[in-house]
């Protein structure tokens, strides 16, 4: 990715680029898919529910005139990550942007109730999958024309709470991977993290009673974010507007304390 002297996103910069977004069929992933497509990028929509991927693929293809590839992928499964990479490169022959957005944080009544299965599942989705995709896609980017990798982190990585400790540990590990891959894949590939706070996606509909109020009270902006508010940060890191940023962690949490 080239140097940007103006600090703005040049018009049409994403035209013809290819963006892969995991967890791409809903929530933050859906908003990023739509944002990339609206700016001319072809997209790979990956999630566990292929029908949702297909519906969004049809939507963005019809609305924005881009090519959209739906792929079923459970990123906690190593082989399915490899299948996703093969599908993306087989269809488009390139990937310019990878967004590791798929996340999982199951509820549990108390810490003692956390089972090994739950713990491993959370680590698999939030940490192992991003590692494999960064290693595979990032290596191809580094030997090709370069690219940008964006990891969607969480404020839980620095403000962990008892109701999400496996998730918090995984997201903290994702910070380490971002820094390590930034060093390993540079100078042609940039790797950055958006450390997200409380966003009102469909997942928030299942928050425990009182959690939303607790999060609002702990946030300087005194609110949770709407899902489409992720777009500005994603476009920043996906384009030359952030040409000198790699290994960076952007706190995008409304001032969570």
At residue 205, the pLDDT reads: 77
Helices 27-38 and 50-64 cross at an angle (nearest 10°) of: 30
To the query of whether residue 188 is one of the catalytic residues in this protein, the response is no
Please identify which of the residues 17, 25, 148, 167 carries the catalytic annotation.
167
Q: Whole-angstrom Cα distance, residue 67 to residue 85?
A: 17
Domain 18-249, what architecture?
Answer: 3-Layer(aba) Sandwich (3.40)
pLDDT at 24: 97
**Selected catalytic residue, list 17, 171, 178, 252:** 171
At residue 210, the pLDDT reads 83
Nearest to 70 by CA among 48, 95, 46: 46
Domain ranges for the chain: 18-249
Quick one: pLDDT at residue 3?
Answer: 63
Helix, strand, or coil here: 130?
helix
Picking from 25, 110, 36, the residue whose alpha carbon sits closest to that of residue 70 is 25
Catalytic residue among 154, 178, 240, 242: 154
Provide the whole-model pTM: 0.94
State the pLDDT at residue 207: 75
The pLDDT tens digits for 130-166 are 999 999 999 999 999 999 999 999 999 999 988 899 9
Q: Identify the pLDDT of residue 11.
A: 74
User: Cβ neighbours of residue 24 under 8 Å, at least 6 residues apart?
Assistant: 30, 32, 33, 43, 44, 45, 46, 47, 53, 56, 99, 101
171 is catalytic: yes
What whole-number distance in Å separates Cα of residue 167 and Cα of residue 2? 35
Cβ within 8 Å of residue 214, ≥6 positions away: none
Calculate Rg over the CA atoms of the chain. Answer: 17
State the pLDDT at residue 204: 80
Tell me which residues of the chain have a pLDDT lower than 50.
none
Distance CA 246, CA 193 (A): 9
154 is catalytic: yes
DSSP H helix total and E strand total for the chain: 8, 9
Alpha-carbon gap, residue 75 to 83, rounded angstroms: 10
Question: What is the pLDDT, as a whole number, of residue 182?
Answer: 98
Helix 116-123 to helix 165-185 angle (10° resolution) is 30
């Amino acid at each position: 990715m080239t140097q940007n002297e103006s600090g703005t996103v040049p018009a049409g910069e994403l035209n013809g680029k290819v963006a892969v977004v995991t967890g791409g069929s809903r929530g933050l992933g859906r908003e990023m898919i739509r944002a990339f497509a609206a700016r001319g990028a072809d997209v790979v929509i990956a999630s566990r529910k292929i029908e949702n991927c297909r519906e969004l693929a049809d939507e963005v293809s019809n609305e924005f005139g881009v090519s959209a590839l739906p792929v079923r992928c459970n990123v906690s499964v190593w082989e399915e990550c490899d299948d996703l990479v093969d599908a993306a490169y087989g269809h488009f022959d390139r990937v310019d942007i990878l967004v590791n957005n798929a996340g999982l944080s199951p509820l549990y009544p108390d810490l003692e109730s956390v089972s090994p299965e739950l713990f491993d599942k959370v680590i698999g989705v939030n940490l192992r999958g991003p590692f494999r995709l960064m290693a595979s896609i990032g290596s191809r980017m580094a030997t090709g024309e370069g690219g940008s990798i964006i990891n969607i982190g969480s404020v839980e990585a620095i403000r962990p709470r008892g109701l999400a400790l496996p998730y918090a540990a995984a997201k903290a590990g994702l910070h380490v991977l971002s820094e390590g891959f930034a060093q390993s894949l540079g100078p042609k590939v940039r790797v950055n993290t958006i450390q997200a706070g409380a966003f009102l996606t469909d997942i928030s509909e299942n928050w425990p009673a009182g959690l939303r109020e607790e999060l609002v009270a702990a946030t300087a902006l005194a609110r949770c974010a709407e899902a489409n508010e992720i777009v500005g940060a994603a476009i920043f890191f996906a384009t030359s507007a952030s040409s000198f940023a790699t290994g960076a962690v952007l706190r995008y949490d409304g001032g969570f304390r």
